[in-house]
């Protein structure tokens, strides 16, 4: 027991609030994107994707893996937290200055003059985000997601409204940039109001070295991951066109909508929960198996359904000018199908303190991914999407190899507990694929028919082939509703 509540109860409640927070981010973000897609051109979306490459890397340096270190270690206090806060602010200011100085070079490299001003605006966002980083970390560590959820609601509602207003007045890519800056500002202010933690002017070098010895490997892994994730934007933006980058990022962001919702919840809940059972291998195995069943019961049919209804969905949401997104989206759904398992495997390794191993694995996986990207870039956007599928499959195998050795729960064990979900999803795809050509009408009518059929077929198949998954998920929903 902990504060009168068991770990299981705390984790379930945290999952609920974390899910609500992620759902709000996904819903607001997607709704805003749907509106902006009709006001902002694919090329302008491409410009914003380029800028996010550099701001994302800057944010990784600001965090330096220290938030993960604070969550993983159970014996830290105000002194260590204040040390990390001061470090984050100083690094954020340095990173923002570096981004501002590099803005003209970035604009010249991509031959897009507008990038200079947008890059400098994104530099400001790096500093704003640093002021709320510790509040977010402490709320995640204590599995207290309610304040984060409320901050998410108001920050996205306000920033989304401003972005739509700016876009409707012809501000293009600038409306996307201002949306992010305003969202971070409102969220940070609300976290400071709702959470009582305040920094002390203390920088403990000994405490910092202890945290950084763990966080350094996480930071390096995150840098590799961030560079790898964003290098697609750099390559496509440089070799192809801003419009092509807009199509690719729209396919990627649409695929990542449900995946991000689920993995954000996993990232926040899995590591704290796994860390508390890290010394008990059997308990950690059971927690891993249960988490994988719960998350894949939702994620796998979502990815399969998204792939099989991609064309009417893209036309309905974004309009016919975004049709080049369809084949890219269908291929990228294969990447999203296994992504939650990647997150769980990494969280299990981190919970056991293997941050150095995670870094080594990131270098291996991303190195192969970059090689695949370089080869695929000669053959077009669709080949680049397939290179991501190949890399995701290899990454899963590599992660599972070490999870199997250290936790005795490798790929075969993980997939065995998910067999019913895979079979049910395959039956759903087959049913929609056979029915689709017979549904005559516009995109909205096709979705109106195909989506309920897909859901019904999946649930029926799940009851036949994976009844334990249905029961487990039903128990979880009843607990959430109570």
Residue 383 is predicted with a pLDDT of 94
Beta pairing partners, 5: 2
Take residue 266 and report the two structure tokens written for it. Answer: 């996993």
Confidence of residue 134 (pLDDT cuts 50, 70, 90): confident
**Mind listing the pLDDT tens digit for each residue in 289-348?**
877 887 888 889 999 999 999 999 999 888 888 899 999 999 999 998 888 888 888 878
Half-sphere exposure of 99 (CA within 13 A, CB side): 30
**149-159 pLDDT per residue, tens:** 788 888 888 99
Question: Who's near 280: CB < 8 A, 6+ residues apart?
Answer: none
Q: Is-contact 32 179, C-beta < 8 A?
A: yes
Q: Is the dihedral of CA 191, 192, 195, 197 positive or negative?
A: positive
| The residue to which tokens 């954020």 are assigned | 92
What does 340-363 look like in DSSP terms, one character per residue? HHHHHHHHHHHHTT-HHHHHHHHH
What pLDDT score was predicted for residue 3? 46
- The rounded percent of the chain whose pLDDT value lies above 70 is 82
Q: Comparing 34-43, 120-129, 374-383, 463-472, which segment has the lowest mean pLDDT? A: 463-472
Query: Among residues 179, 191, 188, 52, which one has the least CA distance to residue 127?
Result: 188
Q: What does the pLDDT average to over 185-198? A: 85
211, 69 contact by CB (below 8 A): yes
Residue 327 confidence (pLDDT): 94
**pLDDT at position 13:** 59
Q: Are 311 and 325 in contact (CB under 8 A)?
A: no
Highest mean pLDDT among 336-340, 429-433, 458-462: 429-433
pLDDT at res. 199 = 78
Classify residue 229 by burial, with Cβ atoms within 10 Å: 0-12, 13-18, 19+. Answer: middle
Phi, psi of 14 (to 5 degrees): -65, -40
* pLDDT score of 214: 65
> What gap in Å lies between CA 124 and CA 93, rounded to an integer?
9
pLDDT above 70 (res 113):
yes
305-324 in b/e form (b: 16+ CB < 10 A) is: bbbbbbbbbbbbbbeeebeb
Instruction: Give alpha helix (H) positions in 197-354.
Output: 205-239, 242-275, 281-308, 310-318, 325-351
**What torsion, rounded to 10 degrees, do the Cα atoms 453, 455, 456, 457 define?**
80
What's the rounded Cα separation, in Å, for the pair 221 and 228?
Answer: 10
Q: What count of residues does the chain have?
A: 482
Label residue 64 left, alpha or beta by phi (over 0 means left) and psi (-120 to 50 means alpha): left
Q: How far is 125 from 271, CA to CA, in rounded Å?
A: 27
Task: Tell me the three-class secondary structure of 454-468, residue by residue.
Answer: HHHHHHHHHHHHCHH
447: three-class secondary structure by DSSP: helix
Tens digits of residue pLDDT in 153-189: 888 889 988 999 999 888 888 998 999 899 899 988 9
Packing angle, helices 310-318 and 281-308, rounded to 10: 80
Query: 52-103, pLDDT tens digit by residue?
Result: 888 888 887 777 767 777 776 666 677 777 787 888 888 889 989 999 999 9
Confidence of residue 430 (pLDDT cuts 50, 70, 90): very high
């Amino acid at each position: 027991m902990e504060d009168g509540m068991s770990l299981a109860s705390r984790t379930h409640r945290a999952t609920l609030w974390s899910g609500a927070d992620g759902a709000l981010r996904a819903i607001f973000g997607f709704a805003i994107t749907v509106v902006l897609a009709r006001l902002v051109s694919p090329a302008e979306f491409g410009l914003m994707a380029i800028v996010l490459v550099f701001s994302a890397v800057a944010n990784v340096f600001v965090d330096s893996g220290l938030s993960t270190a604070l969550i993983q270690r159970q014996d830290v206090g105000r002194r260590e937290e204040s040390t990390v806060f001061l470090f984050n602010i100083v690094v954020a200011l340095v990173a923002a200055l570096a981004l501002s100085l590099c803005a003209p070079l970035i604009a010249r490299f991509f031959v897009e003059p507008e990038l200079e001003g947008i890059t400098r605006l994104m530099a400001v966002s790096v500093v704003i985000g640093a002021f709320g980083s510790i509040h977010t970390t402490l709320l995640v560590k204590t599995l207290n997601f309610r304040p984060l959820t409320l901050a998410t609601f108001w920050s996205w509602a306000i920033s989304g409204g401003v972005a739509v207003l700016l876009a409707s007045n012809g501000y293009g890519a600038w409306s996307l940039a201002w949306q992010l800056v305003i969202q971070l500002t409102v969220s940070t202010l609300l976290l400071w109001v709702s959470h009582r933690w305040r920094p002390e002017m203390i920088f403990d070098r000994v405490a910092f070295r202890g945290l950084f010895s763990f966080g350094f490997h996480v930071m390096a892994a995150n840098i590799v991951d961030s560079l790898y994730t964003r290098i697609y934007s750099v390559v496509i933006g440089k070799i192809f066109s801003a419009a092509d980058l807009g199509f690719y990022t729209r396919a990627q962001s649409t695929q990542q909508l449900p995946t991000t919702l689920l993995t954000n919840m996993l990232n926040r809940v899995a590591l704290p929960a796994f860390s508390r059972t890290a010394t008990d291998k059997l308990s950690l195995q059971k927690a891993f198996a249960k988490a994988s069943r719960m998350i894949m019961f939702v994620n796998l049919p979502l990815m399969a359904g998204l792939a099989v209804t991609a064309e009417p969905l893209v036309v309905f949401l974004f309009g016919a000018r975004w049709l080049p997104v369809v084949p890219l989206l269908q291929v990228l759904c294969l990447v999203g199908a296994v992504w939650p398992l990647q997150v769980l495997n990494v969280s299990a390794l981190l919970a056991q303190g293997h941050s150095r191993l995670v870094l080594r694995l990131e270098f291996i996986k991303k190195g192969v991914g970059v090689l695949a990207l370089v080869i695929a870039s000669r053959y077009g956007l669709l080949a680049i999407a397939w290179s991501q599928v190949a890399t995701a499959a290899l990454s899963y195998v590599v992660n599972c190899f070490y999870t199997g050795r250290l936790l005795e729960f490798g790929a075969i064990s993980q997939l065995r507990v998910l067999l019913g979900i895979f079979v049910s999803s395959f039956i759903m795809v087959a049913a929609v694929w056979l029915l689709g050509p017979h549904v005559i009408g516009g995109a909205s009518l096709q979705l109106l028919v195909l989506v309920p059929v897909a859901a019904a077929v999946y649930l029926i198949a799940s009851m036949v082939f994976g009844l334990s998954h249905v029961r487990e998920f039903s128990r979880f929903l009843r607990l959430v509703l109570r």
